[in-house]
Every structure is written in structure tokens, then in C-alpha cells.
Amino acid sequence: MNPLLEIENLRVTFPTPRGDLEVVRGLSFTLGRERLGIVGESGSGKSMTGRSILKLVRAPGRVTADKLTFDGIDLLTRSERQMRPIRGARISMVMQDPKFSLNPVMTIGEQIAEALLTHQRLPRREVNNRVLTMLESVRIADPERVAKLYPHEVSGGMGQRVMIAMMLIPEPDLLIADEPTSALDVSVQAQVLDIIDELVKRKGMGLIFISHDLNLVSSYCDRILVMNTGEVVEECKAGELMNAKHPYTRGLIASIPRLDETRTELPVLDRSAWAKK
């Protein structure tokens, strides 16, 4: 089977008064129908990687790559107009914070229906049914009531589930989840991730899960890329993250406090060691 997504030598550059700043520096990977995690700290370029797949990096930012194909389609040469049938319908993205990503003046039902109707024509009754079924599948107990609510009337966890419903209703082939749970409580995090996980498995989609949380990524993905200053420093299977070799990955793992913490001081990353070669 062909890979879903192929990326070779992806670079994202922003001009600054002191010359160009490369925030993603020569990233390459291929993705099948699997769950890939991208981890790294703020500024490591992980979100920019996700955005460049959807061509959402705005000028003056520049995206270049030797190859950027999705399901055989060359994304690099596609115009904005040609991207529209891909965005949402075939590749969709769950953003970090439901508070800022949902439209505050549309009801939840209308917003989810809009995601569907942008890409296909359907009779109103069927749209309604699909919205309600989708809300049910993200474990919202009374979909009819929730569909009539506005975003400010629901909690953060429910807002994030609504967003997932919206992103999955056009049945995309690839879901990019950019820090989908970092605005949520630990107890709600697990619920939301379980929902994503179940839907991804059931529909056989590809998932790119972008997060700064190593533990979370290792429990919800098959494969992990660790990024630092725009480059992949380590690639491994999720189960083998704890045996990571690169000092940066090991440093990140060691700096997380544990529930049965006995260390009096947490180890801190020595950034000077590999910041500039």
C-alpha cells in the first residue's frame, strides 16, 4: 500500500531583521495509516510541521520541500483553491483550545453541519442525523440538547469533543491533532484521547499527534519523532521511548517529576551541549 503522506526535506523559513530564521530544518518522514507522535518543546517546529502539511503557513513564512505528497497528490503545487477540497475533507486538524477555535455565534449543531456541508450536498434530515450520530460517537450523552447550545455554554472538555466531532464528520483520511488536550484537565484528557484513538482505529485513519507531553504521546501512538530546534533528533517506536538514546530525549524524560518522586532535585537540560554544531 502506498504511504498516506510522504515528506522529504521540509523547511519552513521566516524572514527576520537579522536574516532568515529556519524553524523547520530538513524534516523527512512517511506516514501510513498509523499513529505518529511528534514531540518537542515550544519552538521546536512541531506545530509548524503540522501546519505546513495543510499549507496553513501564511506569508511571510515560506515552506519548501523536495517532496510533500498526500495520497499521491502533490501538495506543493496546489493552489489555495485546489487545497480547499483537501482541507477538512481529507486532512483535518484539531486545534489546541476549543475556546478560541469554535465560532462563538453559531450553535454547536450548525458548526458541525457546516463542516459536512462545505464538502458535500446532503438533504437536511440526513445532515441532522449525521450530526447527532457524530456527537454520540464522541460520547456526548444528549446530543439533541448539546447541538442547540453555543460554545460558551459547554465546558472545555465538551468543547474539545465537539471540535473532534467537527473534524471527523467529513471522514478524513488523516487527522492532525495539535496539542488536542493541553487546555484540559488530566481526568478529561484521557477521555478525549480515548475517543480520538477509538475513532482513528475504527475508521483506519492516519493520525499525527503533536504534543509536548512525552508520556501522553508514548501511550497513544505507534511511532514517535522527537524534535528539537526544527530537526528530528530521534525516531523510535512508542514502546521504546524509555530506552531513547539521544541526550535531548533522555533529558526530557528525566526532567518529568514522577508520582512517587524521591529525587530532591530534578535534572535540567544542558542546552549548550547540542544547541549549535
* Binds another protein by CB under 8 A, chosen from 204, 265, 273, 277: 265
- The answer to whether 209 touches 221, Cβ cutoff 8 Å, is yes
> With binding defined as CB under 8 A, does residue 275 bind another protein?
no
The residue with cell 481529507 is 90
Grid coordinates given for 255: 526532567
* Binds another protein by CB under 8 A, chosen from 61, 114, 219, 231: 219
Cβ-based nearer residue to another protein, 80 or 265: 265
* Binds another protein by CB under 8 A, chosen from 25, 71, 190, 250: 190
> With binding defined as CB under 8 A, does residue 272 bind another protein?
no
Q: Which of residues 39-58 bind another protein (CB under 8 A)?
A: 41-42
Options 84-92, 116-124, 137-145, 262-270: segment touching another protein (CB under 8 A): 262-270
Binding-residue total with another protein (CB under 8 A): 34
* Binds another protein by CB under 8 A, chosen from 2, 120, 264, 272: 264
Give, in order, the Cα–Cα distances in Å from 198 to each of 4, 32, 47, 111, 188: 19, 17, 23, 23, 16
The answer for residues whose C-beta is within 8 angstroms of residue 262's C-beta and 6 or more apart is none
- The answer to whether 23 touches 12, Cβ cutoff 8 Å, is yes
> With binding defined as CB under 8 A, does residue 213 bind another protein?
yes
SS3 129: helix
Cβ-based nearer residue to another protein, 21 or 256: 256
Nearest distance, CB of residue 249 and another protein, angstroms: 11
Cβ-based nearer residue to another protein, 14 or 136: 14
* Binds another protein by CB under 8 A, chosen from 59, 105, 141, 259: 259
Grid coordinates given for 150: 453555543
Give, in order, the Cα–Cα distances in Å from 182 to each of 166, 192, 212, 218: 19, 11, 9, 15
Nearest distance, CB of residue 41 and another protein, angstroms: 4
* Binds another protein by CB under 8 A, chosen from 59, 141, 260, 277: 260
- The answer to whether 116 touches 128, Cβ cutoff 8 Å, is no
Q: Which of residues 129-188 bind another protein (CB under 8 A)?
A: 155-156, 185-188
Cβ-based nearer residue to another protein, 49 or 218: 218
- The answer to whether 212 touches 179, Cβ cutoff 8 Å, is yes
The residue with cell 523527512 is 28
- Count of CB atoms situated within 10 Å of the CB of 250: 16
DSSP at 60:
T
Grid coordinates given for 263: 529525587
Contacting positions for another protein (CB under 8 A): 41-42, 155-156, 185-190, 212-216, 218-219, 251-252, 255-269
